[in-house]
Every structure is written in structure tokens, then in C-alpha cells.
């Protein structure tokens, strides 16, 4: 080889090639080498490496099924636009083989209610099964005039469960993501430099109180394909009323909206609203007197505005009822302002991170941003808890399986609220209220999720992932 490196014009006596030819070959080999290396370091590859490292420990043998589903396309559902010609829209959706999923959920809810009330009327309340008393609503202390007094009464009656995290439970939250490290590009980055989740002192007591049954407003309708079917909907089109006929949505995205339990006349804030799927679902209930859709990113705010234009009747019908704001939710100054606040937080977006290199949070260039996500989420949730009125509800949701961004963030925000403010909250235990959805969604159970509910992707019905926790402010 040494013989090859002579003057540029000379021929190598060994292989007979000119120097410039050799240099070209060497350059292209090197380019291949770097292309291969870069390929290994794509956001999608790094995301898979990260999830494979952390999730098996949390989700155990389920991880193999979840992984398979996450690597496939998600299952679409179609949110019927109430402002379209609903009869035409539902006929179009039915003709392509889908069915009204919300009707099935309503039926499951009412069957369950029926079973529980017949149990309640035939049995001594003391002998009812653990979940039977959730249906009569008597445990809902938040409906009382003085929430603090009601809470004290409920506590005395044993209806509130005070959860004092033991060292074991606290540790369980952090085991899968070591408190001082986060899996970075090719290295382990020090997470502890940015925030401290591992330092729990066990002083936080969180009240968990059984949630009342979910109700689904009649105007909210979602269509889906049967279990196991992977058909796609045609593109939404413009209905005879001049607005789009349906909005494609992950079926699990509806659950945080239902958990929010918007009531007629409510003033609602969707703190991280773009591109607007959940805002649109909230509006389909026809209940809010006001919906503020907020997001911080300019491009996404534009998409959100476009969605509202495409799906809602002319803007003059909505003065003061729907508004779009572009604010950093961490700096929100709106104490005791809203009846309901949804925090659908930015997160690892597991599905997107595994399938799309564009705008991927696992891209090496976004390592620092990625590490700070739980801090951002905690700040957003804390602001939401301040912005909601006493008696009002905050729902925190993400589309990641990362427990630190789910229960971990709820825990951190509650701790801050407990330590720094006089706000009192109770976490709603939704285990019973989610049972009617068990037939269509795969819920994580027995994996130590304490505050919220987690929908796991499954190849049968490939919805989620979706974590959501419901917090009611008492004072
Ligand atoms: N809720 C939306 C929907 O259903 O279509 C999806 C929301 S997405 C999971 C999270 C959103 O949070 C992104 O649009 C992002 O721009 C926004 N976001 C990020 N940081 C924020 C902040 N500091 N304040 C408000 N929104 C923020």
C-alpha cells in the first residue's frame, strides 16, 4: 500500500491505480463508514435502545408484546364532528366497516351500573364487593359545599385512602430509570444534574379517592374497526355543512378527555393543546362555556388554529367561547381561574420516537431537552393545579410508558404543591371507572402504577400508550 502513495499523477506499481483514484475510493469508503455510524445513532434507533433498556424491568414479560405493537402502526379511530352532517358521516364510517365505539362503551358503563345497583339493593352494604359502592356516588366528597370539610368527613369515614409512600414504593418509581442517570446517545448522561427525583423523604401523603363512573355525552362519538382489524379510514372530507366530517385520533386519547368530566357551563383550559385533537373532543361534548386552547410552539399553534377552522362552524359563532393562546404553560398566571384543566404534556412520545426520525426527541442534538422533560412536565402540572378552582379537576396525560414522566411527575408536582402552597388536592382512583373500557383497551395492571391509569399498545387493538391521572382540587 505504501507504494501507492506517491505523486498524484503516478501509477502505483502494486495495484496499478492512480493516486486520485485511490483517494476517491478511500473517501467513499469513509463516507460509507460514517453513514453506517450515523444510521446507528438515529433518533428511532436510540429510542428503541432506550426503551429496551428501561421498560422490560417495569413491564416485565408484557414488554415483548408492547414492543411489537409500538413498532407497528397505531390503530386509528374517527372522532365524528358534531358540526358536520352527522348522519352522512356515520353512514360513511359504517360503510367502511367501522362501528360506534362510544356506543359500546356507553353500553358497558350502563351494564356495570345496573349490576352494581342490583347488588346494592339486594345486599347489606357492608357485604358489597370492594368496587360496588363506587356506583352510587356517595363517596364523591367534592360535590359538597365545603370541600375541605367534606374531605375531612370522607377521611373519617374511611373513604379516602392516604397513601404514605414507603421506601419500597418510592424506590419502585425510580428503579427503571436510575435517579442519577438517563440513557443518552452513546453515553450515560447525569440526570441528577438537572433534577432530583430520587430524593424522596417520605413526608408526602397523597389522598386517593375512588372516582365516580365515567359518563359519555351523547354528542361525543368515536368510530373504530373491530379488534384485530388493521383497516384505515379514508381521508376526512368536507361535509355538506362546510366543515370536515371526522378527526383521526388514537382511541386512547379520548380517555383523558372523559376523565376530565367536562360539565355544561364549565370553563376549560387545554394547556398543551396543539394540534388540537383533545380540544376538539372537548368541544364535541357541547358543554364548555369557554375553552382556552394554549400551546407554546408557533408552528403547532398554527396547526391548532387550522384544525379549529376546519372543524368548527364559522368563527363568528364562537366569540369568547373558544380562544387560542400562545403561552409558555410554565409561566401561566391564572390562579383559581378554570373549572377543568387538561395537561396533555410534551413527553417521549414513544410511538413517534420509534417510528419517525423527524422531530425525534431521542436525536443526539436534543439530549439536553430530553433530560429536562420531567422538569417541564412537573412545572406544567403545578401551574395547572394552581389555575384550577377549588372543586375543579386537572387531568395530566402523556403518550409515553416512562414511569418517571407519569406517576413520577404527578408525585413531584403534588409534593411541590404540598410544600409550597396551601392548595389541597385528592387523586381520583380510576381503577373502577375504567373497567367498562377493559374490553377495548389493554390497561397496565399489577405493575405498580399508583396515581394514574396506563393504556398499553397491543396488536389486537393498537391504541396508546396513554397515561392519565385525575386530580381534584379541594381547597
Ligand atoms: N393535546 C394535543 C392533542 O391532543 O392534539 C397534543 C399535545 S402534545 C402531546 C404536547 C404539546 O405541548 C406540544 O404541542 C407542545 O408544543 C406543547 N408544549 C411544550 N412545551 C410547552 C409549554 N411550556 N407550554 C405549553 N405547551 C407546551
pLDDT tens profile 194-245: 334 444 445 677 888 899 999 999 999 999 999 999 999 999 999 999 999 9
When pLDDT is cut at 50, 70 and 90, the band that residue 122 belongs to is: confident
| From 248, 270, 344, 346, mutation site for ligand 1 pocket: most ligand atoms within 8 A of C-beta | 346
Lowest mean pLDDT among 20-29, 130-139, 377-386, 443-452: 130-139
The predicted model gives 68-93 an average pLDDT of: 96
Q: What are phi and psi of 334, to 5 degrees?
A: -150, 65
pLDDT digits (tens, 9 = 90+) for 310-326: 999 986 567 679 999 99
Exposure string (b/e) for 276-303, b if CB count within 10 Å is 16 or more?
Answer: bbbbbbbbbbebbeebbbbbbeeebbee
Instruction: Report whether pLDDT(472) > 70.
Output: yes
pLDDT digits (tens, 9 = 90+) for 330-350: 999 999 999 999 999 999 999
Instruction: Report whether pLDDT(255) > 80.
Output: yes
Question: Average pLDDT of the chain?
Answer: 83
Q: Report the alpha-carbon distance of residue 235 to residue 73 in Å, rounded.
A: 16
- The reported pLDDT for the residue numbered 285 is 95
Catalytically active residues are 399
Closest residue by Cα to atom 16, ligand 1, is: 297
Q: How far is CA 274 from CA 33, 93, 300, 307, 324, in A?
A: 40, 25, 6, 9, 10
Lowest mean pLDDT among 151-165, 226-240, 386-400, 412-426: 151-165
The predicted model gives 445-458 an average pLDDT of: 95
Lowest mean pLDDT among 14-23, 58-67, 357-366: 14-23
Task: Identify which of 283, 308, 259 has the alpha carbon closest to the alpha carbon of residue 431.
Answer: 259
Answer yes or no: is the C-beta of 278 below 6 A from any ligand 1 atom: yes
Residues 396, 471 contacting (CB under 8 angstroms)? yes
The pTM assigned to this predicted structure is 0.81
When pLDDT is cut at 50, 70 and 90, the band that residue 100 belongs to is: very high
* CATH 3.40.50.150 assigned to 58-473: yes
DSSP per-residue string spanning 425-457 = EEEEE-TTTTGGGTTTSEE--SS---SSEEEEP
- The reported pLDDT for the residue numbered 24 is 79
Task: Identify which of 361, 357, 423 has the alpha carbon closest to the alpha carbon of residue 392.
Answer: 423
The predicted model gives 415-434 an average pLDDT of: 94
- The reported pLDDT for the residue numbered 175 is 34
Instruction: Report whether pLDDT(172) > 70.
Output: no
Instruction: Report whether pLDDT(1) > 70.
Output: no
> Parallel, antiparallel, or unpaired: how do β-strands 338-344 and 388-398 relate?
parallel
Q: Report the alpha-carbon distance of residue 22 to residue 186 in Å, rounded.
A: 32
Instruction: Report whether pLDDT(23) > 70.
Output: yes
Instruction: Report whether pLDDT(266) > 80.
Output: yes
Looking at residue 316, the DSSP 8-state letter turns out to be G
Residue 238 C-alpha cell reads as 368536507
Answer yes or no: is the C-beta of 43 below 6 A from any ligand 1 atom: no
Residues 236, 223 contacting (CB under 8 angstroms)? no
Instruction: Report whether pLDDT(138) > 60.
Output: no
| From 257, 295, 405, mutation site for ligand 1 pocket: most ligand atoms within 8 A of C-beta | 295
- The reported pLDDT for the residue numbered 456 is 98
The alpha carbon of 57 and the centre of ligand 1 are apart by a number of angstroms equal to: 29
Percent over 90 (pLDDT), the chain: 68
Answer yes or no: is the C-beta of 272 below 6 A from any ligand 1 atom: yes
Residues 465, 457 contacting (CB under 8 angstroms)? yes
Answer yes or no: is the C-beta of 161 below 6 A from any ligand 1 atom: no
Count Cα atoms within 13 angstroms, Cβ side, for 380: 31
Amino acid at each position: 500500500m505504501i507504494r501507492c502513495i506517491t505523486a498524484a499523477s503516478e501509477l502505483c506499481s502494486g495495484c496499478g491505480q492512480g493516486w486520485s483514484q485511490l483517494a476517491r475510493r478511500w473517501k467513499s469508503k469513509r463516507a460509507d463508514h460514517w453513514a453506517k455510524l450515523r444510521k446507528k445513532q438515529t433518533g428511532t434507533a436510540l429510542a428503541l435502545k432506550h426503551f429496551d433498556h428501561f421498560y422490560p424491568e417495569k413491564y416485565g414479560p408484557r414488554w415483548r408484546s408492547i414492543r411489537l405493537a409500538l413498532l407497528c402502526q397505531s390503530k386509528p379511530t374517527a372522532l365524528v364532528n358534531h358540526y358536520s352532517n352527522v348522519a352522512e358521516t356515520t353512514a360513511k364510517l359504517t360503510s367502511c366497516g367501522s362501528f360506534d365505539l362510544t356506543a359500546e362503551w356507553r353500553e358497558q358503563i350502563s351494564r356495570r351500573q345496573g349490576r352494581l345497583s342490583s347488588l346494592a339493593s339486594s345486599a347489606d352494604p357492608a357485604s358489597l364487593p370492594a368496587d360496588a359502592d363506587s356506583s352510587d356516588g356517595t363517596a364523591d366528597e367534592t360535590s359538597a359545599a365545603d370541600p375541605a370539610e367534606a374531605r375531612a368527613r370522607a377521611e373519617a369515614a374511611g373513604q379516602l385512602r392516604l397513601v404514605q409512600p414507603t421506601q419500597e414504593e418510592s424506590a419502585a418509581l425510580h428503579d427503571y430509570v436510575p435517579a442519577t442517570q438517563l440513557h443518552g446517545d452513546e453515553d450515560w448522561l447525569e440526570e441528577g444534574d438537572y433534577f432530583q427525583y430520587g430524593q424522596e423523604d417520605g413526608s408526602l401523603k397523597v389522598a386517593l379517592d375512588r372516582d365516580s363512573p365515567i359518563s359519555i355525552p351523547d354528542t361525543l362519538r368515536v368510530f373504530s374497526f373491530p379488534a384485530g382489524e388493521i383497516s384505515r379510514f379514508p381521508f376526512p372530507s368536507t361535509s355538506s355543512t362546510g366543515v370536515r366530517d371526522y378527526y383521526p385520533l388514537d382511541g386512547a386519547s379520548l380517555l383523558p378527555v372523559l376523565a376530565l368530566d367536562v360539565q355544561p357551563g364549565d370553563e376549560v383550559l387545554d394547556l398543551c393543546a396543539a394540534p388540537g385533537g383533545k380540544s376538539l373532543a372537548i368541544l364535541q361534548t357541547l358543554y364548555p362555556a369557554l375553552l382556552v386552547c394554549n400551546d407554546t410552539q408557533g408552528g403547532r399553534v398554527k396547526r391548532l388554529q387550522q384544525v379549529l377552522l376546519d372543524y368548527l362552524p364559522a368563527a363568528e359563532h364562537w366569540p369568547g367561547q373558544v380562544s387560542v393562546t400562545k403561552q409558555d404553560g410554565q409561566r401561566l398566571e391564572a390562579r383559581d381561574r378554570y373549572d377543568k384543566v387538561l395537561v396533555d404534556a410534551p413527553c417521549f412520545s414513544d410511538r413517534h420516537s420509534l417510528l419517525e426520525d423527524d422531530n425525534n426527541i431521542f436525536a443526539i442534538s436534543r439530549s439536553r431537552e430530553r433530560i429536562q422533560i420531567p422538569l417541564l412536565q412537573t412545572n406544567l402540572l403545578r401551574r395547572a393545579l394552581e389555575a384550577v378552582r377549588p372543586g375543579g379537576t386537572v387531568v395530566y396525560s402523556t403518550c409515553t410508558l416512562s414511569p418517571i414522566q407519569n406517576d413520577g411527575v404527578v408525585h413531584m408536582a403534588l409534593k411541590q404543591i404540598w410544600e409550597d402552597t396551601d392548595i389541597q388536592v385528592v387523586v381520583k382512583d380510576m381503577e373502577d371507572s375504567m373497567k367498562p373500557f377493559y374490553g377495548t383497551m389493554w390497561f397496565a395492571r399489577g405493575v405498580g402504577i399508583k396515581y394514574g391509569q396506563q393504556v398499553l399498545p397491543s396488536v389486537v387493538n393498537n391504541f396508546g400508550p396513554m397515561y392519565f391521572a385525575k386530580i381534584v382540587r379541594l381547597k
